[in-house]
Structures are given as structure tokens and as C-alpha cells.
Amino acid sequence: MSDLLSHPFLSRRNIVQELDKIPYIIIDIETTGLYPEKSEIIEIGAIKTDGLNAVDVFTTLIEPEAEIPKEIEALTGISQEMTLGKPRAKQALSELLSFIKNDVLVAHNSDFDIPFIKHHLQKHLKKDISNKALCTMKIARAVVPGIKSYKLHTLAEHLGVQVMNRHRAMGDAETTYHVWTKLIEVLSSKDIKTLEKAERFMQPAQI
């Protein structure tokens, strides 16, 4: 049998991606509604890590095409005036693409955030992403049973993570980041230490 080390393009396939060493993008968005086809993204917050350590951030408000609904303003605190003069979706999403590159995405309730981002990338840039994605909600349901609710703030409080600036993209991204580092510890204690094993919790939802 030939030595895999002499064929780097083959040996790369055998590299084990350890959860505490993978570059991640912890991401959260605020939107004008629940449905990507009818709603806009008005804020993005993202944290880049080199494993467990945060190394960079990306955050921006986005000036929407339509008026921000009053109930969204009441929930997020983001007013129409706050978004005036901020980047439009096309510019903000282009900058987001440059920030996330091919890193693994981590979101709380990724079935909301990721399809929303994908829809608007197609709409404004005619582009798609194929990044792997992990959902802290799905993983927590599997490995931290018995919580009355798996909403971000409830899970965070259960794990001893301080919740600040709720319903703002950067605040929720920061909370998700701390929750994810706690979940990595829980996963490790259950001998789930690689991306491949963690990805099993994402089935059948993949991006």
C-alpha cells in the first residue's frame, strides 16, 4: 500500500477535525419577519473563532427597502432611523461572504438563520454558500435534556452563560458563542469530539 503522506490530496480526507480546534463563524441575524421571501435582514452579527477563542467580529445594521414593522422595532429595539445610511443588503451580504469564507457556521436555530441568509444571498448577489453548519439548539436538545425551553436565553442561563443585549444580532451571537463553548465541553464528556460526530445531530437538515 502506498504511503498516504506522499499524496496530500488523499491524506487530507483522513484529517480528524476536532471540535475545539475548528475555525467557526458564530452567526445571528435580526429580520423584519419570519419568512425569507417576504422579509428582510436588518442586522447581522458574527464572531470568528480559531476553535474556542474569538479572533474577529463582523456586525452591521442594514437599511431595509421597506418600513420596519412596529412589532419588530419593539422586539429588537432597531428603529427605521437607526438603519438610515447603513449598508444595503447587497453590500452587507457581500462583506459577510468575505468574512465567513469556508468556515463552519454555528447558529442557534440554524433552520431559521441559514435559509434566510441563503435566500438573500441568492436574491441580492446570485450566490450560494455550502458551508457546513451546526445548530446549538439541535445539539442541546440531544445532549442537555430536561430543559423546559431550548430558546437561546433559557439554554444560556441553564449553562451558566450571562445573557446580554437580547434580540440584537451581536448580543445573540455572543451568547451563542458562549453557549457553543459550553456545549463543546458537554459533547467532549460524551466522547463526541469531532465535527463528523457532531454533524450527526444536524440530520436531515443540511445547507
β-pairing verdict for 133-135 and 104-107: parallel
Q: What is the DSSP string of the chain?
A: ---GGG-HHHHGGG---BTTTS-EEEEEEEESSS-TTT--EEEEEEEEESSSSEEEEEEEE---SSPPPHHHHHHH---HHHHTTSPPHHHHHHHHHHHHTTPEEEETTHHHHHHHHHHHHHHHHS------EEEHHHHHHHHSTT-S--SHHHHHHHTTPPP-STTSHHHHHHHHHHHHHHHHHHHHHTT--BHHHHGGGGTT---
120 is catalytic: no
Please tell me which residue in 124, 153, 158, 167 is annotated as part of the active site. 167
What residues act catalytically?
Answer: 167
